[in-house]
Amino acid sequence: MKVAIACDHAGYELKDYIKNNLKQQNIEVVDYGTNGPDSVDYPYFGHKVSLDVESLKVDFGILICGTANGMAMTANKHKGVRCGLCWTPEIASLTKQHNNANVIALPARFISKEEGWKITEAYMNAEFEGGRHQNRIDKMHCA
């Protein structure tokens, strides 16, 4: 499994924590930064991960900013991306089960590092349920 991850200045510590946990599970991680507290613009990093997901270079993406909103909005501009804003493990599971999200966005300023990892694990352990949920996903696109 291969995962792309990125964050802005609000999320670099959570990003590194999740990256290290993924690596401990022998999951390949592409880290697009940022890597410190200096202020950056989240779309630059959100697009990097989203392009990898869209082009199927990775199995899924993880984006982290303060609220997760900016990253989720950026990712969802990409046609091949379904990014869910996940702030609890249950929501992360449902984001995969019902929405077949291929990117999760985490709000670093509102969750602990441990919660961030539990959310990531919940997403990874969940399966898309298909059926009526696929019908709904098919109706998401704009003409």
| Helix-helix angle 12-24:113-125, to 10 degrees | 50
Phi, psi at 128, each rounded to 5°: -65, 135
Phi, psi at 63, each rounded to 5°: -125, 135
Would you say 41 or 129 has its CB closer to ligand RB5?
41
What span, in angstroms and rounded, lies between the C-alpha atoms of 96 and 82?
A: 10
Which residues inside 34-63 make contact with ligand RB5, applying CB under 6 A?
42
Contact window for ligand RB5 (CB under 6 A) among 20-28, 65-73, 91-99, 124-132: 65-73
Among 31, 43, 47, 66, binds ligand RB5 (CB under 6 A): 66
Rounded to a whole number of angstroms, the minimum distance from the CB of residue 70 to ligand RB5 is 3
Would you say 30 or 73 has its CB closer to ligand RB5?
73
Which residue's Cβ has the minimum distance to ligand RB5?
A: 70
Residue 77 sits in the site that holds ligand RB5 (CB under 6 A): no
Among 70, 84, 89, 116, binds ligand RB5 (CB under 6 A): 70
For residue 120, whether the previous peptide bond is cis, meaning omega lies within 30 degrees of 0, is no
Residue 67 sits in the site that holds ligand RB5 (CB under 6 A): yes
What span, in angstroms and rounded, lies between the C-alpha atoms of 101 and 98?
A: 8
Rounded to a whole number of angstroms, the minimum distance from the CB of residue 104 to ligand RB5 is 15
DSSP string, 3-47: EEEEE-TTSHHHHHHHHHHHHHTT-EEEE----SSS---HHHHHH
Confirm whether 142 is a catalytic residue. Answer: no
Residue 66 gets which letter from DSSP? Answer: S
Residues carrying an active site annotation: 65, 98
Using CB under 6 A as the criterion, which residues of the chain lie in contact with ligand RB5 when the complex forms? 8, 10, 42, 65-67, 69-70
